[in-house]
Amino acid sequence: MSDDRHHALDALVVAAVNEAQVQSLTKSYQEWEQQGYGRPLREVKLPWDNFRRHVLEAYEELFVARPERRRARGEGHAATIRQVKTRDEREIVYERKAVTALKESDLALIKDPEKNARLVAVLRAWIAAGKPTDPDNMPRMPNGYVVNKVRLISRNKPAVPVRGGSADRGEMVRVDVFSKPNKKGKVEWFLVPIYPHQVMNKKEWPQPPMRAVVAYKDESEWTIMGPEHCFRFSLYHRSYIKAVKSSGAVIPGYFAGLHRGTGAINLLLHNDPTNSIDGIGAKTLANLAKYSVDRYGTCAEVKKEVRTWHGEACTSHSPPD
């Protein structure tokens, strides 16, 4: 496991070794290298007794401070734009797929199958023949056109409208956290994802999104935040939080993302950004707290935060004192 606390160890070694010791080691290394020997082992006097034990004890208490990333950088949407058509009063997203990757079951997903019946028949025969890829045996229409790709019905739903089509959303800019007591008086948590295309398009989004993720539901069925929902704080990449489960277990970490399909959050360990804790269900947490972290790793809970949109306060809902 990688551990960023090693930077502190490097700094400690530099601070503990004085200039005279460095010059002595350098001189002895140079002398041995000139004679063709390997580097000699030299014992460096420790700064104080029990130095190693004290370092190891301090190492376990080290907290790695990381800056919260608040800027909405990156693309507003993914580069690939998929075709969107209305069929039976429902918007369908189509994607192009190489014929070499087609399976027999994919043929039922070809766009407008009745209109493209000849295409389906050609592809079915080509797949039955073992999908030969030499130029003379590629699937070919009666007019001689070689079929390289076809348009299939996608599982994707329209996301970001772009030039009459649809592109996937960019990386979330932030997640706005709301809370509301349920009928039993227990606080429940609601997470509203916000994307770059929403931040960038002031005309279409004069107000911030207000729908909180509901697990395994379409966005049209997500919970709309109203006056009864209290805004708590916004989570950005590397916001430091502590999630408390109903069992009392505390899961601390830097915020790494929200799964819009399940409503679960992912956290990164403070000392290892390559190691994550995934799938933390947020709605029924006993508590969810955000902390500010200064450059020295000192954490302070964020008691209140004002929700903003385009640099201005946009909601008066706030938790009670």
Q: How far apart are CA 109 and CA 273, in angstroms?
A: 41
Q: How far apart are CA 1 and CA 18, in angstroms?
A: 31
N-term to C-term CA, the chain: 42
Q: How far apart are CA 185 and CA 168, in angstroms?
A: 38
**pLDDT tens digit string along 40-95?**
666 677 888 898 899 888 888 889 999 888 875 555 444 455 555 566 666 677 77
Task: Look at the chain and count its residues.
Answer: 321
- Whether residue 123 is predicted with pLDDT greater than 50 in this model: the reply is yes
Residue 23 phi/psi, 5-degree rounding, is -65, -40
- What's the mean pLDDT in 147-173? 65
**pLDDT tens digit string along 199-252?**
887 888 899 999 999 999 988 899 999 999 999 999 999 999 999 999 999 999
- Whether residue 302 is predicted with pLDDT greater than 90 in this model: the reply is yes
pLDDT category at 166 given cuts 50, 70, 90 is: very low
Q: How far apart are CA 189 and CA 287, in angstroms?
A: 9
Full-model pTM: 0.70
Q: How far apart are CA 235 and CA 268, in angstroms?
A: 13
Q: How far apart are CA 131 and CA 107, in angstroms?
A: 14
Cα–Cα separations (whole angstroms), residue 31 to 17, 255, 307: 21, 52, 65
pLDDT category at 155 given cuts 50, 70, 90 is: low
pLDDT category at 153 given cuts 50, 70, 90 is: confident
- Whether residue 36 is predicted with pLDDT greater than 70 in this model: the reply is yes
Sequence-distant (6+) residues with CB within 8 A of 109 are 152, 153
